[in-house]
Amino acid sequence: MPLALFVILGTLQLFLMLNGRIMAEYAAFRATRAGSVNVGDCRAMTHAAVAAVLPTFANVNSASSLMTAFMLRQGNMYLPGVDGTRFGAIVWIQKQLDRQPQRDIKDSFDDRWHPDSRIELVVDMVFWFPMKIPFANWVMARSYLAAVGAIPYFGVNPLSPAQNARWMKEGDSPSTSRVLGEMRNRAFRGQYDFPIRTGHRLRMMTPAVEIGRNCPNSPASL
């Protein structure tokens, strides 16, 4: 019975995650585009990314509801009460140039023959996709963390209550990456957000004067 229930609920959750992946890739493009035409400004990039992923977890069936949902979350944070008990960053955005300019980019950008005018903005983004299907979210989050070595689990196996689970990665030490650490912390407080990581790159259309500043609510490195 638990296994049959997980197959049904897990299938629903996987399809929702697939939709989240598609929207995350679109959000990475929108964020990169916003940075390309806005001197690499984090605020514009973050707003573009959050607006793109809103349909995956908020009720945005009209232009007015989309605007309302965006205004509530323009700080790039889930809202307790509005998003259940969920809180924390919606997206992490890391940005860099594909190469450093040879001279002051403000002076060389308008020179179309100069290599600095063809510098590209490279964006690495993590969308913390909220898994909302009950039971499936718990099993999938715990088993994934165990599979990558972030947190072993030896409690009762929810798919077979008559035995204990042995969800762990054999032979490797637990991962200490920022992404897995954040996922582990959220899972400990009952918040099952799956990190969908994607990225994009575009040629800078404006001088990249804001590159080098970390985007709000994002760690220094992923």
Tally of domains in the chain: 1
Residue 102 DSSP label: S
- Does any domain span residue 44? yes
Task: Kindly report, residue by residue over 90-108, the tens digit of the pLDDT.
Answer: 999 999 887 766 655 555 5
Q: Which helix (H) or strand (E) holds 20?
A: helix 2-37
Is residue 85 within 8 Å of residue 104, measured between CB atoms? no
Q: Distance between CA 84 and CA 103 in Å, rounded?
A: 50
Range of the domain at 100: 2-203
Contact 199, 123 (CB under 8 A): yes
Percentage of the chain beyond pLDDT 90 is 51
8, HSE (Cβ side, Cα atoms, 13 Å) = 5
* In a domain? residue 105: yes
In a domain, 70, yes or no: yes
Structure token digits, residue 138: 């718990």
Q: Is residue 6 part of a domain?
A: yes
Residue pair 188/82 in contact (Cβ under 8 Å)? The answer is: no
pLDDT digits (tens, 9 = 90+) for 118-156: 788 999 999 999 999 999 999 999 999 988 888 888 888
Q: What angle do CA 25, 31, 35 make, to 5 degrees?
A: 145
Cβ proximity of 207 and 109 under 8 Å: yes
In this structure, is residue 219 part of a structural domain? no
Per-residue pLDDT band for 112 (boundaries 50, 70, 90) equals low
- Please report the pLDDT score of residue 17 as a whole number: 96
Per-residue model confidence (pLDDT) at position 110: 59
User: CA nearest 122: which of 211, 9, 15, 48?
Assistant: 211
**Position 218 in a domain:** no
Q: How far is CA 15 from CA 8, 91, 124, 127, 216, in A?
A: 11, 20, 24, 16, 30
- Among 189, 201, 197, residue whose Cα is nearest residue 128: 197
Task: Using alpha carbons, list the distances in angstroms from residue 174 to 83, 147, 187, 195, 213.
Answer: 30, 10, 16, 17, 30
- Angle at 40 (CA atoms; ends 207, 44), nearest 5 degrees: 135
Q: What is the pTM of this model?
A: 0.87
In a domain, 37, yes or no: yes
Q: Which of 131, 135, 193, 134 is nearest to 3 (CA)?
A: 135
Each residue's pLDDT tens digit, 149-165: 888 888 888 888 888 88
CA angle 124, 174, 95 (to 5 degrees): 10
pLDDT of amino acid 105: 54
**Do the domain assignments include residue 210?**
no
